[in-house]
Structure 1
Amino acid sequence: MTTMTKKADKIDRLAELMQTSEVTSGASLWREAMRRLRASKMAIIGAVIIALFVLLAIVGPWLAPHSPSAQTWRGEVFANKGQFVGARGDNWFGLDHLGRDMFSRILVGARQTLMVGVVSMLIGLIVGALVGVLSGAAATLGGRTGERVDTVIMRFTDIMLSLPSLLLAVSIAAVMGQSLTTVMIAVGVVQIPIFARLLRGSMLVQGSSDYVLAAKALGIRKKRIVLTQILPNSLSPVIVQATLSLATAIIEAAALSYLGLGNPDPAIPEWGVMLAQAERFFDNEPMMAAYPAIGIIITALGFTLLGEAMREALDPKLRG
């Protein structure tokens, strides 16, 4: 009995030592990645764009010079017989078709756009990560039951991935009804198979690593290896994908709002809804569509630049 206790204590000490080594290695990897990110112009530009967008979304409603829903200059717009009022002192971006201040609507709409993108990404990330962990753990632990579970989950995700993302999102939104919550759920569901497959593949790669083989040789339980070793070391690509998915979520959410599946209240500014409202007046006043479109493009570009820079910084093949 004493011999078995000593052996168990030795295995635990070796496991703790190995885990500490992996943590140190992981910390070194992230330190090296941060150093590369600080030296990357692409990462700096992306981070600056994201920081400005987040700051705008937070303080925008307080910076707006006018109420975004008030039709203060409605009479002036109708008096001009369809001739829109352009940029001027009181209205930096001019007026929309109902006499509302475009600059104020752009500022306030940034918060709605950010909220939709972040919530959609979190839905896809959390649910997709749970599915990916279940599938990856089943495949890593082995056994017939594990293989069957992994196969069923992956075939289901393959079916979801075979459908065009925007078509799937539109179908979900059409079934659930018109609302901002519907848009967030629809875009989030589209992201689930991406995160699930990515995390599952990363876990399979980590499962064949030397430290996993060493842990198995020491007799450490497979479940403990998966939770304390494989999973933490598999999260790097998922974090990168989350950044890239924010850009995709913002674009797809704007597309659903443009198709009329977003917020049913047109008085509440959101960049996708503003694009839909501007479509009818594009010939007379293209800037009504240009302002929210430019905001969406620049914001998506910022997340894409930072995500690509993170991917390169964490790629071991690109580390010198």
Structure 2
Amino acid sequence: MTVSMTKTEKIQRLAELTAGQESTSGASLWKEAARRLRSSKMALIGGAIILLFLIVAVIGPWIAPFSPTAQTWRDEVFANQGKFVNPRAENWFGLDHLGRDLFSRFLVGARQTLLVGVISTLIGLIVGALIGGISGAAATLGGDAGRRVDSVVMRFIDMMLALPSLLLAVSVAAVMGQSLTTVMIAVGVVQVPIFARLLRGSMLAQGGADYVLAARALGIRKRRIVLTQIVPNSLSPVIVQCTLTLATAIIEAAALSYLGLGNPDPAVPEWGVMLSTAQRFFDNAPLMAVFPAVGIIITALGFTLLGEAMREALDPKLRG
């Protein structure tokens, strides 16, 4: 009994030392990545754009000079016989076809755009990480049966990847009906195979690492190895992908709204809905489309710049 307890204590101690070394290595990796991000112009520019977007999204409804749904200047627009009011001192972005202030709608619409991007990305991340984690764990430590499970799951993911992302999103949105929730789910479904593939590939790469072999030699349970060692060390590329996916999610959500599959109530301001409405009046009022389009482009650029900077900061080949 004494020998058995001593052996157990040794195994636990060695496991703790192994985990401690990995934790230290992980901490130093993130510390070095943070240092590289602080010195990266690309990261600083992307972060500044995202910060500005977040500020506008949070305080937009309070700083908007007018109600985004109030048709305050409707009589003026109709009196001009369809001639749109361009930017002026009272209305910085001009008026839309119903006499609503475009600047106020732009500010308030930033929150809806952010909401769509974040929630759709979270849907793709959670579902994709769950599928990819199960597949990666089965392939790494599941033996022959696990590899068969991995093969079946990945063939399903391959089927999703074979479809163009926008076509898949349109198909999901068309089946579920027109609503803002539908847009979030449709865009999230498109991101699922990306996160699943990425996490699975990262876990397979980590599965052959020395610390995993050492943990298996010490007799640590496979489930514990996966949850405490492999998964935490496989999350870096997934986190980077989140920032890049946010950019594409905002663009794809805007595309669905442009195609008429977004919020059925056009009175609710959202950049994609505003862009969809503006297409009918582009010849007479191009600025109605320019402002939301520029907002979408710049916001997507900010997330893309930050994501690329994070990718470079976490790349072991680029660390000095």
Identity of aligned residues (%): 78
Give CA deviations for 1:87-131 in whole Å, capped at 9, x if unaligned. 111101100011000000000000000000000000000111111
CA distance in 2: counterparts of 1:213 and 1:64, whole angstroms:
59
Match of 2:248 in 1: 248
1:306 aligns with 2:306: yes
Q: 1:142-173: CA deviations, max 9, x gaps?
A: 32221111011100000000100000000000
Q: CA deviation at 1:308?
A: 0.3
Q: Deviation at 1:232?
A: 0.5
Aligned equivalents of 1:240, 1:85: Cα separation in 2: 43
**Cα shift readout 1:60-86 (whole Å, capped 9, x = no counterpart):** 000000000011101111111121111
State the alpha-carbon separation in 2 of the partners of residues 147 and 181 from structure 1: 36
Correspondence 1:201 to 2:201: yes
Query: What CA distance in whole angstroms lies between the structure 2 residues aligned with 1:277 and 1:192?
Result: 30
Query: Which secondary structure state, in structure 1, belongs to the residue aligned with residue 159 of structure 2?
Result: helix
Question: How far did 1:38 drift?
Answer: 0.2
2:132 maps to 132
Number of positions where the alignment pairs a residue of Structure 1 with one of Structure 2: 320
> Which residue of structure 1 lines up, in the alignment, with residue 148 of structure 2?
148
CA distance in 2, matches of 1:318, 1:166: 34
Matches within 5 A, 1:257-296: 257-296=257-296
Q: State the SS of the aligned residue for 2:220.
A: coil
CA distance in 1, matches of 2:142, 2:71: 64
1:4-153 matched pairs, under 5 angstroms: 4-153=4-153
What is the DSSP-based 3-state SS (H/G/I as helix, E as strand, rest coil) of the residue aligned with 1:65? coil
- 1:210 maps to which residue? 210
Letter in 1 for 2:269: P
Letter in 1 for 2:86: G
Match of 1:162 in 2: 162
Code of the aligned partner of 1:56: V
In structure 2, runs of 5+ residues without a counterpart are: none
Task: Name the SS for the 1:230 alignment partner.
Answer: helix
Q: Match for 1:160: what amino acid?
A: M
> After TM superposition, where is structure 1 displaced by more than 3 Å over at least 4 residues in a row?
none
Task: Report the 3-state secondary structure (helix = DSSP H, G, I; strand = E; otherwise coil) of the residue aligned with 1:231.
Answer: helix
What's the offset of the Cα at 1:220?
1.6
Q: Distance in 2 between matches of 1:36 and 1:76?
A: 54
Q: Distance in 1 between matches of 2:55 and 2:152?
A: 43
Matched to 1:59, the amino acid is: I
CA distance, structure 1, for counterparts of residue 3 and residue 149 of structure 2:
38
Deviates more, 1:82-91 or 1:112-121: 82-91
TM-score normalised by the chain length of structure 2: 0.99
User: SS in structure 2 opposite 1:89?
Assistant: coil
Give the distance between the partners of 2:267 and 2:285, measured in 1 at CA. Answer: 19
Alpha-carbon distance in structure 1 between the residues aligned to 2:275 and 2:253? 12
Distance, in Å, in 1 between the alignment partners of 2:103 and 2:155 is 47
